[in-house]
Amino acid sequence: MIKQEVHSGIEFYQKKVKKRKLGASLEFITAQLSWQFSGAISCVALLSAYNIITNALNRMALIISILFLIQFAIQYFVTTKISKEITSELGEVTSKTRKLGLLLIPFVLLGNFFMFLSGFMLIQKDKTIEYNLSVYSLLTSIFILLISAMNLFKDSVVETFALGMGIYGAYAIINLVTLIACSKWIQNGRINRKLLFFAILGLVGIITGNVFSFLMGLIILAKYFNKNSETSIEWIDVIRRLFKNYMSCIGMFIIVFLISVSIASLLTFDYDIATLNNYMALLQPPSLMYPFGTDELGRCVFTRIVFGARISLLVGLVSTTIPIVIGGILGAISGYYGRNTDNIIMRLLDILYAVPGILLAIAIIAAFGVSTMNLILALSIGGIPSYARTVRATVMSLASQEFVEAAKACGAKDGTIIFKHIIPNSLAPVIVRATLGIGSAVLSTSSLSFLGLGVESHVPEWGNILKAGSTYLETNPYIAIFPGLAIITIVLSFNYFGDGLRDALDPKLK
Amino acid sequence: MNFKKLLSVFLIGGLSVVVGGCSNETENTITDNVASSLPAIRILGMSSSEMDLNILADQLKKAGFNVELNVQPDYSSFSTIQDTGEWDLSLTGWTTVTGNPDYAVRDIFASTGAYNSQLLNDPKVDMLIDQAATETPQVYKKTYTDLENYLVNEQAYFIPLYSSLRMQGVNNSLMEPTMRQPKSRSSVWEEYTYIDTALNETRPFIMTQTSATLTSLDPIQANDGSINQLSSNINTRIISLTDEDVVEAKGSLSYNFAIAQGNKEYYFLLKDNVNFSKVEDKKAVDTGVRVGAEDVVFTLNRAKDKDSVPLHKTYGLHLHMDEISIVTDLNELNTTITADTGVPILETLTNGLNVSVTALTDDKTQADNNNGVYQVVKVTTLNPFPQVLNYLAHQSAGIVSEEQVTLLNSKFDVENYDATKDVGYGDFNAIKSGDNHLWMSGPYALTYVNDYEVAFQKNPVYMPETEHEPRIKDIVIKFIKDTTSANSAFRSGEIDFLSTVDVNHATLLDAEEQFTVMKRSSNAVSYAVFNLAEGNLFTDVNLRKAALYAVEQQPFIKVKNDLVNPAFSTLSTIIDTGNVHISDLEKSAEYLSKYFAE
């Protein structure tokens, strides 16, 4: 009896150790999510391939299902191999298995970015932050090329298409070279001088919206000019911690990808397909030419969603920035001065807080009319009190700290103390709040558009597309499903990213 | 080494995509047109017709115009903007509810028209409208064709878009989908019956309408969708329309009607089997007061008097009448000759009657049709105007009780009427709060109305034991604001009859066995008018034509699942003029260059 108990105790302990080992391995986490994703897509595609009522077989869905089933099989095989090796005596993935990563990468061409990430995580043993960033940067570029390439199935492409594809193709190659360079020329955290050239190329990438390559360039430069002593740079640390959380990386990737695609669509997508009606192609089901089908006026839903990302992000970002600035200043003032100043400002903001945000937005839009500017204004005003409260709380706790007293003793003016000492130190909670806020702002934009109170109805905006689709929910559900998925994805991405950011910024979790 | 392989794979892949992009044909966006140098055309419309606005704007854009949309959420804000004149092109519609061509053009195109929002003021248009009004159908066809040609082909005062169908949904497990579907007039409730006739007495029949605010239940104080159907069924008239808009006596208060030579005098032989009903305890009861010639004279006199009530909304329909009187001299009917047949009026009036006319009376209590005592009403018009009959068939000519209306409306002065405290006959708010003062001559009596529904019960003495006696005892109309919810309510069985089926729902309903969508042409026409007020862009005829020829009707029809018909003007649904609108981008460009050449 006792022997048995001891035995099961050991088993339990071993299980825990195994679990911890696997959980700490980025190779395993990425591989696991990848096979789960492939399997799920395969199942969904299979279910939608067969119509129970009409007995019809959707060939495209079936092909997709089979393709993802293959990916699932490969990935599952690789994952079990990784898992076995990690839990074995050796305790790490062998270089033979690492080479299997090469097999996974090309599947990105089918849109499976989980497999791509899994492949790159598997290939490289020492994953520096620069390596991670260049992988994501390459992934962003490839995805933009893929999405833009969908336009090749259309009757015609926009004039600047070849130019756009050329630029992005070239940039993808640069990304790949940078990736290789990063894996070769960073030894034990020391930056090789040759990398500086790539760092500058990475910084230039911000023009395309590629935040990853920009960050990579920044980190390389910062490290190099800081004499390669990375421990002294706080923000690099934050980013490194952020990249330890795989879900928040995925969130960040989707956000960066949407930003990039909003910029890329200027060159590679035809705005006319999204806004001009095509009476020859009304309510077409999804096909290669119209990946998400067409709406009741013959406009390509896929193109409309791509252009919709621009508005959603713009409104989301601007209507979060405005209340941060206004609310932040008000919160800082009332938190720093306290007493009557605090009372007056906060009581006024409390009144604003008492009005439901969405009702306030509806009232403002009803009064000033439907337009994107008014929408941003309406969403911004409702957000001020919550940011003011967040900042005020942080400032109050900071105001009594020694470094503030020291500044006061040195004779610094109040303005200097607030803006130079207090605000920079109270940014972390605001940043976290803001990332979550952008998600809800995107949601509010779409809700208001759905109610006919957001942006003008002909503008391709996700809420608008969803509204048009709601009429055809029974006959042509895809018109509503895809914009709905887009909204869910972006909000989820911001939430995961915000979550990861909070953990990364939390000093206790260092 | 691995990376080198990888690099080559991506290089090849990337290059092939780029090359593919180059080889694909590139597209020139909208051809640069001189029109783009014009200021943007401000298109005004309502959100309910968002799709039409979109298509209209899209076509003008494709022709090279700059377009700016102004979408208003409801009719009142739409008409406010329309009144300010801050628009160039306004998407609007017109339904000729009386079924006659005069009504289809006078109010919207004549310089004096009450709904002439574009400020069209053209003496030739006025002249043609007035001329056609005096003519008989055989003659006016040509005049109206001329008018249509002038309005659209010559002057391009508006862009015709389409005419809608009348589509109604029936739950065919309850009712045969064979009920009357008139082109212009409202539904004929007294003919509705359940398949299981036993239900007629016990089960309320539930219909729906969008507007929960009824303008007024005084027939002459309103002429809109909120009361049209209700008023038509609670007040009878002295003449009626067939489903194809031909005037007939059947189903009205008259046995027969006759037009005297000269087209200025009209005679009606009245029935004596209709009593006014009133409501007690939410139930329809008989007042014991007969609907007679005195009430008809009273009704029509107040209809043609601009100042008979505050907010008289239908004066324009009745101003053609001169004198309304009760005929007591049987000789007059023998000596006057009917216009088209040449027989004496009396013969036309008594055609098909069981008991011949022996005496005429001017006292409705003395009328006794079984013993040959009848009442005859004579209406004369200021000018020869045969279409007056259509106006008499309109709900605004519904017969009201002289004593009840006088009782209520004598309590205040029309000139100093104050809507906040004075209660006139048919006041919606008073009726809603429980003060149901209506005396109703129609097949049904309005029993109560609240925020959710309006209820009706059959008039106990309405042509009893004839084919016109109402079958179903109780009818309820639920207020459901949007068509999608109404459609869902209908599909879930919450309502029995859908008065208007949206084009998007028709196919869905048709696919279900339980429901039938009845479709027929109607007199509702959608079109877009140019703002002709001084100083506006479209005061120039060439520019109007450039826009007119840029718009094609086929896309509207296609997007609406072929459930609308092409139209050339508001007359298209009433008279076959043979005109068809054909868009032509070349012509459009031609007129545009003409415009710039000026």
Which element (helix H / strand E) includes B359? strand B359-360
A-chain CB neighbours of B3 within 8 Å are 180, 183
Dist. CA B398–CA B27, nearest whole Å? 62
Q: Which of A156, A180, A272 has the CB atom closest to B26's CB atom?
A: A156
Taking only the tens place, the pLDDT of each residue in B460-473 is 999 999 999 999 99
Dist. CA A136–CA A237, nearest whole Å? 18
Q: Which of A102, A173, A176 has the CB atom closest to B2's CB atom?
A: A102
| pLDDT given at position B454 | 96
Which element (helix H / strand E) includes B93? strand B89-95
Contact A158 B25 (CB under 8 A): no
Interface test with A, best of B1, B2, B3, B78 (most A CBs within 10 A): B3
C-alpha distances in angstroms, B11 versus A176, A181, B5, B344, B387? 10, 16, 10, 100, 80
Work out the angle between the directed axes of helices A129-149 and A161-185 (0-180°, nearest 10).
160
What is the nearest CA distance from B45 to chain A, expressed in angstroms? 13
A326: left (phi over 0), alpha (psi -120 to 50) or beta: alpha
Kindly give, in sequence order, each residue whose CB lies less than 8 Å from that of residue B363, ignoring residues fewer than 6 positions away: B292, B294
| pLDDT given at position A4 | 65
Weakest mean pLDDT among A333-347, B370-384, B433-447: A333-347
Rg of chain A over Cα atoms, rounded to whole angstroms, equals 26
C-alpha distances in angstroms, B295 versus B100, B112, B315, B359, B441? 26, 31, 18, 20, 10
Confidence of residue A508 (pLDDT cuts 50, 70, 90): low
B-chain CB neighbours of A123 within 8 Å are 2
Q: Which of B5, B9, B17 has the CB atom closest to A169's CB atom?
A: B17
Which element (helix H / strand E) includes A465? helix A462-470
**Which residue of chain A has the CA closest to B507?**
A475
Domain spans, chain B: 3-164+522-597, 188-415+424-492
Mean pLDDT confidence for A441-466: 86
A-chain CB neighbours of B29 within 8 Å are 158-159, 270, 272
Kindly give, in sequence order, each residue whose CB lies less than 8 Å from that of residue A408, ignoring residues fewer than 6 positions away: A417
| pLDDT given at position A2 | 60
Strands (E), B463-580: 474-479, 497-498, 515-530, 564-565
Taking only the tens place, the pLDDT of each residue in B74-101 is 788 888 899 899 999 999 999 998 889 9
CB contacts < 8 A, A to B, total: 106
C-alpha distances in angstroms, B39 versus A406, B65, B145, B157, B518? 63, 9, 34, 20, 45
Contact A169 B14 (CB under 8 A): yes
* Contact criterion met (CB below 8 Å) for A124 and A183: yes
Question: Which residue(s) pair with B527 in the sheet?
Answer: B92, B160
Dist. CA B489–CA A450, nearest whole Å? 22
Confidence of residue B154 (pLDDT cuts 50, 70, 90): very high
Confidence of residue A422 (pLDDT cuts 50, 70, 90): confident
Closest listed residue to residue B102, CA positions, set B384, B458, B438? B384
* Contact criterion met (CB below 8 Å) for A332 and A392: yes
Does the pLDDT of residue A352 top 80, yes or no? yes
Does the pLDDT of residue B242 top 90, yes or no? yes
Closest listed residue to residue B253, CA positions, set B367, B341, B166? B367
CATH number of B3-164+522-597: 3.10.105
Mean pLDDT confidence for B302-330: 91
Does the pLDDT of residue A44 top 60, yes or no? yes
Taking only the tens place, the pLDDT of each residue in A114-153 is 999 999 999 888 888 889 999 999 999 999 999 999 999 9
Longest dimension (CA), chain A: 82
Does the pLDDT of residue A5 top 90, yes or no? no
| pLDDT given at position B379 | 96
Confidence of residue B34 (pLDDT cuts 50, 70, 90): low
Burial profile B101-121: b = 16 or more Cβ within 10 angstroms, e = fewer:
bbbbbbbbbbeebeebbbebe
Does the pLDDT of residue B24 top 50, yes or no? no
Residue identified by tokens 């096979």 is A35
| pLDDT given at position A10 | 82
Does the pLDDT of residue B21 top 70, yes or no? no
Single-letter residue type at A211 = V
Mean pLDDT confidence for B285-296: 95
Token pair of A347 as six digits: 């009581």
Confidence of residue A11 (pLDDT cuts 50, 70, 90): confident
| pLDDT given at position B23 | 40
B99: left (phi over 0), alpha (psi -120 to 50) or beta: left
Q: How many CB atoms lie within 10 A of CB A8?
A: 10
B288: left (phi over 0), alpha (psi -120 to 50) or beta: left
Token pair of B3 as six digits: 């990376």
Residue identified by tokens 């509207």 is B556
Q: Which of A180, A458, A474 has the CB atom closest to B69's CB atom?
A: A458
Confidence of residue B13 (pLDDT cuts 50, 70, 90): very low
Strands (E), A275-347: none
The CATH class for the domain spanning B188-415+424-492 reads: alpha beta
| pLDDT given at position A127 | 83
* Contact criterion met (CB below 8 Å) for A308 and A316: no
- Return the half-sphere exposure (C-beta side, CA atoms, 13 A cut-off) of residue A265: 22
Q: What percent of chain B stands above pLDDT 90?
A: 68
Contact A279 B554 (CB under 8 A): yes
Where do runs of H (alpha helix) occur along A52-194? 59-87, 95-99, 101-104, 113-123, 129-149, 161-185
Dist. CA B76–CA B226, nearest whole Å? 14
Dist. CA B53–CA B44, nearest whole Å? 8
Kindly give, in sequence order, each residue whose CB lies less than 8 Å from that of residue B8, ignoring residues fewer than 6 positions away: none
Confidence of residue B17 (pLDDT cuts 50, 70, 90): very low
Token pair of A297 as six digits: 């006026």
Q: What percent of chain B stands above pLDDT 70?
A: 94
State whether residue B576 is helix, strand or coil.
coil
| pLDDT given at position B302 | 94
* Contact criterion met (CB below 8 Å) for A387 and A423: no
Q: What contacts 24+ positions apart, CB below 8 Å, involve B552-558?
A: B552/B59, B552/B583, B553/B160, B553/B161, B553/B162, B553/B581, B553/B583, B554/A279, B555/A277, B555/A279, B555/B55, B555/B58, B555/B59, B556/B52, B556/B55, B556/B161, B556/B162, B556/B526, B557/B162, B558/A279, B558/A282
| pLDDT given at position B18 | 40
What is the nearest CA distance from A25 to chain B, expressed in angstroms? 23
* Contact criterion met (CB below 8 Å) for A75 and A115: yes
> What is the pairing mode between strands B515-530 and B321-327?
unpaired
Rg of chain B over Cα atoms, rounded to whole angstroms, equals 28
Interface test with A, best of B10, B81, B509 (most A CBs within 10 A): B10
Q: Which of B9, B18, B27 has the CB atom closest to A270's CB atom?
A: B27
| pLDDT given at position B567 | 94
Contact B11 A270 (CB under 8 A): no
Longest dimension (CA), chain B: 119
A-chain CB neighbours of B484 within 8 Å are 471
**Which residue of chain B has the CA closest to A181?**
B3
Q: Which of B24, B69, B484 has the CB atom closest to A152's CB atom?
A: B24
Decide which of A366 and B289 is more confident: B289
| pLDDT given at position A190 | 75
Dist. CA B248–CA B293, nearest whole Å? 19
A-chain CB neighbours of B554 within 8 Å are 279
Dist. CA B175–CA B475, nearest whole Å? 14
3-state secondary structure labels for all residues of B389-432:
HHHHCCHHHCCCCHHHHHHHHCCCCCCCCCCCCCCCCCCHHHHH
| pLDDT given at position B138 | 87
Closest listed residue to residue A119, CA positions, set B57, B6, B564? B6
Contact B508 A474 (CB under 8 A): yes
| pLDDT given at position A232 | 59
Confidence of residue A231 (pLDDT cuts 50, 70, 90): low
- Return the half-sphere exposure (C-beta side, CA atoms, 13 A cut-off) of residue B132: 26
Taking only the tens place, the pLDDT of each residue in A480-498 is 999 999 999 999 999 999 8
Q: How many CB atoms lie within 10 A of CB A204?
A: 15
* Contact criterion met (CB below 8 Å) for A105 and A120: yes
